[in-house]
Amino acid sequence: MNDPLLDELLQALRCLPGVGSRTAQRMALHLLERDRPGGRELAEVLGRAMTEIRRCSRCRNFTSAELCGICRSDKRSRAVLCVVETPGDVLAIEQATGFDGQYFVLLGRLSPLDGIGPEDIGLDQLEQRLAEEPIEEIIVATNSTVEGEATAHYIGGLAARRGIAMTRLAQGVPLGGELEHTDSSTLAHAFASRLPVRGD
């Protein structure tokens, strides 16, 4: 394209995952040709979201308030805590299961080779929650990767030291797979059939 602003729009759209030059061009042309009100609304909401959405101070999920809706709810169990890697995992579990407990979002996983230690993914904050809240079971829903398993093992140690039962998602989630890309029925089955884990 010859117009510098249009080129800038195309380049900006390419920051999205899976959006290459052709997809960015299709998106931009669709908004400019057929849906300018939608484009303006997208720009306005995106601007507000980038400014106002932050981490929940309790579970680290995304929210525009101090505490997210799940943490604020008095209808959810305080006895069961599900530990996940990303906010996308929370969405996947909420959509696929009837889980009614609380969450803790790591926003990553342990990876010593990359210099990512326990404090980098909030495991110190998780340990504080275990000390302060009446948690009876931790469901570790980290991904089935080497780093995810190492993270689960570390959390198992935290749970064992406090006498808290720990379970892990069962069959169905493929080795190396990510929760947010697992189909709903498989995830629901894995969640319902979770297995106990013994800490060291």
State the average pLDDT over residues 156-167. 94
**Measured in Å, how far apart are the chain's first and last C-alpha atoms?**
60
- 117 versus 200: which is more confidently predicted? 117
Lowest mean pLDDT among 14-18, 31-35, 181-185: 181-185
pLDDT of 12 above 90: yes
Q: Give 4-52's CATH code, choosing from 2.60.120.1130, 1.10.8.420, 1.10.357.10, 3.10.580.10.
A: 1.10.8.420
Supply the mean pLDDT for the chain. Answer: 88
SS (H, E, C) the chain: CCCHHHHHHHHHHCCCCCCCHHHHHHHHHHHHHHCHHHHHHHHHHHHHHHHHCEECCCCCCEECCCCCHHHHCCCCCCCEEEEECCHHHHHHHHHHCCCCCEEEECCCCCEHHHCECHHHHCHHHHHHHHHHCCCCEEEECCCCCHHHHHHHHHHHHHHHHCCCEEEECCCCCCCCCCHHHCCHHHHHHHHHCCEEECCC
Predicted local confidence at residue 146, as pLDDT: 84
pLDDT of 168 above 90: no
> Could you give the CA distance from residue 10 to residue 200 in angstroms, rounded to a whole number?
52
What is the pTM assigned to this prediction? 0.78
The pLDDT > 70 percentage for the chain reads 84
CB 77, CB 134: distance < 8 Å: no
Q: How confident is the model at residue 182 (pLDDT cuts 50, 70, 90)?
A: low
Q: How confident is the model at residue 149 (pLDDT cuts 50, 70, 90)?
A: confident
Amino acid at 37: P
Question: CA angle at residue 123 from 120 to 125, to 5 degrees?
Answer: 105
Domains of the chain, by residue range, sit at: 4-52, 75-197
Predicted local confidence at residue 155, as pLDDT: 95
> Could you give the CA distance from residue 199 to residue 197 in angstroms, rounded to a whole number?
6
Predicted local confidence at residue 148, as pLDDT: 87
**Residue range 75-197 in CATH 3.40.1360.10:** yes
